[in-house]
């Protein structure tokens, strides 16, 4: 039995004529301890897929099974790192993390909770900024707070929705390493949603492309057989890496082009004779 299982998931929004099917026939199974990346274009329904798995929304058809049980609402077992950080701006870094920890471990004393907060803030190296508010932090620091908040709840599975999408390339690289380190420490199951193929290959055991929506569905999976720990600079010369990367990009480009040609067919311009204005204005 897989750790997380998605069986024949369909998700539609709207009703009647305006009904659009965002996800159709999604099948996915993730084993315990695995790191899976789903790669797709922006607007292809990735966030919808994430929200289905973390329990924020329900599928229109099909079922999401977590450890064999259907997912009903959110759970502390599945930690979420949101795309746009989603930190509460009126709380400090420490308070943001504390709020999550307090909900996850309601029986612990205040002192124990504060220790957990301090540990995780230290882990993302933000201890000097623990009393700052999100507004005073850079994008990378904010995302690190979001990482600390999600991990401090000690979830069994981490779900990341384009966690590094809004960051610059250098910060992105650092945070990728940080997330990998944390993941390797206690081998939690991880699901990463991203639009960056390189990021997926660098971090994941398996990459599954998402064919863009409407009617988004998962494509064939690509196994990444590169030894961990992976080195970013060496990776560029790795034949295996290049091959996988090219295969995934080719696949994505192909479905991208397919979409484009479909779209072109849909908008055939009517044949019109331009009116002649010669001699009309005297």
Partner 1 sequence: MGLGFLGTIKDLFTGKLEKEDFISFLRKVVVPLASILLFIGLWHMGSQSLYNIEAEFKIEKALEDQGPAAAEALRECIASGESGCQPNTLPSPSQVWASYQSLLRDHNIISADKAAFIEKTAVLNEKRIAEGKEPITYTGRPSFVDQIFRSLKTVFAGFLLALLIAVPLGIFIGLSPTLKSAFNWFIQIFKPVSPVVWYLLVFMIVKTVLIDSNEDSSFTISFISVGLCSMWATLVNTAMGVSSVDKDYINVAKVLKLGSFQKIFKVVLPSSLPLIFTGLKITLSVAWMVLIAIELLAQSPGLGLFVWEEFQNGANDSNAKIIVAMFVIGIIGFLLDRLMLTIQNWVSFDKTDAI
Residues that bind partner 1 (CB under 8 A): 54, 56, 73-76, 79-80, 82, 84, 86, 88-91, 99-100, 103-104, 133, 135, 153
CB 103 to partner 1: min, Å: 5
Smallest separation (angstroms) from partner 1 to the CB of 129: 16
Judged by beta carbon, residue 13 or residue 251, the one nearer partner 1 is: 13
* Region for residue 145 given its phi and psi (left: phi exceeds 0; alpha: psi -120 to 50; beta: otherwise): alpha
Taking the least distance from each CB to partner 1, the nearer of 24 and 54 is 54
Length of the chain: 282
Q: How far is the CB of 145 from partner 1 (least distance, A)?
A: 12
Report the nearest approach of partner 1 to the CB of residue 187 (Å). 22
Cβ 160 vs Cβ 179: under 8 Å: yes
Residue pair 158/166 in contact by the 8 Å Cβ criterion:
no
User: Whole-angstrom Cα distance, residue 121 to residue 209?
Assistant: 33
For residue 52, the minimal CB distance to partner 1 (Å) is 13
Rounded Cα distance between 185 and 158, Å, is 13
**Closer residue to partner 1 in complex, CB, 76/232:** 76
124 vs 141: CA distance, rounded Å: 9
Q: How far is the CB of 72 from partner 1 (least distance, A)?
A: 12
SS3 35: strand
- Nearest-angstrom CA–CA distance, 244 and 133: 41
Nearer to partner 1, 41 or 98 (CB): 98
Based on CB atoms, which residue is closest to partner 1, 150 or 216? 150
Q: How big is the chain by its Cα radius of gyration, in Å?
A: 22
Closest approach of Cβ 270 to partner 1, in Å? 41
Helix axis angle for 139-152 and 169-186, nearest 10°, is 10
**Which letter does DSSP use for residue 17 in this model?**
G
* For residue 214, cis peptide bond before it (omega within 30 degrees of 0): yes
Q: Is the Cβ of residue 25 or residue 86 nearer to partner 1 in the bound state? A: 86
The residue (of 103 and 250) whose beta carbon lies closer to partner 1 is 103
């Amino acid at each position: 039995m897989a750790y997380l299982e998605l069986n024949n998931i369909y998700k539609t929004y709207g009703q009647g004529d305006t009904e659009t099917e965002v996800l159709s026939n999604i099948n996915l199974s993730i084993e315990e301890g695995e790191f899976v990346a789903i790669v797709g274009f922006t607007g292809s329904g990735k966030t919808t897929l994430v929200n289905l798995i973390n329990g924020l929304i329900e599928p229109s058809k099909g079922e999401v099974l977590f450890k064999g049980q259907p997912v009903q609402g959110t759970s502390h077992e599945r930690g979420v790192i949101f795309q746009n950080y989603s930190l509460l701006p009126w709380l400090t870094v420490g308070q943001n993390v504390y709020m999550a920890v307090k909900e996850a471990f309601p029986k612990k004393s205040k002192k124990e909770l504060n220790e957990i907060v301090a540990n995780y803030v230290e882990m993302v190296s933000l201890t000097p900024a623990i009393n700052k508010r999100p507004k005073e932090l850079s994008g990378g620091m904010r995302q690190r707070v979001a990482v600390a908040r999600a991990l401090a709840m000690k979830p069994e599975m981490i779900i990341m929705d384009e966690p590094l999408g809004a960051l610059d390339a250098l910060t992105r690289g650092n945070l990728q390493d940080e997330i990998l380190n944390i993941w390797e420490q206690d081998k939690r199951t991880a699901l990463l949603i991203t639009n960056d193929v390189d990021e997926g290959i660098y971090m994941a055991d398996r990459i599954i492309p998402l064919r863009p929506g409407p009617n988004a569905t998962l494509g064939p999976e690509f196994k990444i057989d590169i030894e961990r720990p992976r080195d970013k600079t060496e990776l560029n010369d790795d034949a295996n890496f290049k091959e996988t990367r090219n295969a995934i990009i080719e696949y994505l480009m192909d479905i991208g082009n397919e979409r484009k040609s479909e779209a072109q067919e849909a908008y055939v311009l009517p044949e019109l004779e331009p009116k002649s204005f010669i001699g009309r204005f005297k």
